[in-house]
Amino acid sequence: MLRVEPLLESHQRDIDGLLTPRTALDVAAGTCHAAVYLAKRGLHATALDCSAVGLALGEQLAKREGVAIETVTADLAVTELPGGPWSVVCCFRYLDRNLFPQMAAGLAPGGLLFYRTFNVHHLKKATAFNPEYVLQPGELAREFSTLEIRSLSDGDDPGENTSWIAARQPA
C-alpha cells in the first residue's frame, strides 16, 4: 500500500501547480513511495537508490498504483545526482550533506525541494543511531538559504525528532 509522506501531502497544491518540465527526483528512494506519489500527481518521477532490490519493489508498487516511474541504481557516495532541471527534488530519511548544493542547484526555476530526516532529538531515544547522520538545529535553513522557504521545522522543538523543509527555487 502506498505510504504518503505528510510533507508532500501538505504541499499537494504547490505540487499540482508546478509548470513544465514536471519532473521529480526522489533521492535515496528506498521502495519509492514518494516517487510513486509524485507520479500519481502527474509528474515524471525518477527514483534513485543504491539498492536495486528496493527499486524493483518500487516499480511493483508503481504498477499496482497504475503509474510508471523511472529508476536509477546509483551509489551516492561516488555518484553525483542526475542533472535536472527537476520540478521536484525530494529526500526522506537519508542524510548526505555533500548532496545539499546539488539538490538545490538541480531545481528548475520555481521548482520545489522537500527534505525530511532525523535531527539531534532522535538521539535521546535511538542511542545507537550514528550522530553524524542527524541534522543540527538551524542546519536546513542555513544550507538551503538560496531557496524561498515554504515550511520549515529545523530542530527547535525538542519533542520533534525530525527536521524538514519545503522550499522553492526562485523563478
Ligand X SMILES: C[S@@+](CC[C@H](N)C(=O)[O-])C[C@H]1O[C@@H](n2cnc3c(N)ncnc32)[C@H](O)[C@@H]1O
Of the candidates 11, 94, 86, 6, the residue with the CA atom closest to the CA atom of residue 45: 86
Residue number, 74 or 152, with CB nearest to ligand X? 74
Closer Cβ to ligand X, 49 or 139, answer by number: 49
Question: Least distance from C-beta 28 to ligand X, angstroms?
Answer: 3
Residue 59 is a binding residue for ligand X (CB under 6 A): no
- Does the protein bind ligand X through residue 38 (CB under 6 A)? no
Is position 58 an interface residue for ligand X (rule: CB under 6 A)? no
Give the max Cα distance, the chain: 44
- Judged by CB under 6 A, the residue of 40, 56, 94, 110 near ligand X is 94
Q: Can you tell me the distance from the alpha carbon of 130 to that of 138, in angstroms, rounded to the nearest whole number?
A: 19
**Lookup: cell for 171:** 523563478
Q: Does 132 bind ligand X (CB under 6 A)?
A: no
Query: Taking CB under 6 A as the criterion, which residues in 137-166 touch ligand X?
Result: none
Nearest to ligand X of 94, 110 (CB atom): 94
Cβ closest to ligand X, residue 72 vs residue 110: 72
What is the Cα–Cα distance from 124 to 105, expressed in whole angstroms?
A: 34
**Strand 148-153 with 162-168, pairing:** antiparallel
Report CA-CA distances (Å) from 130 to 18, 27, 88, 124, 136: 36, 20, 28, 12, 13
Q: Does 106 interact with ligand X (rule: CB under 6 A)?
A: no
Binding site for ligand X (CB under 6 A): 28-30, 33, 49-51, 54, 75-77, 92-94
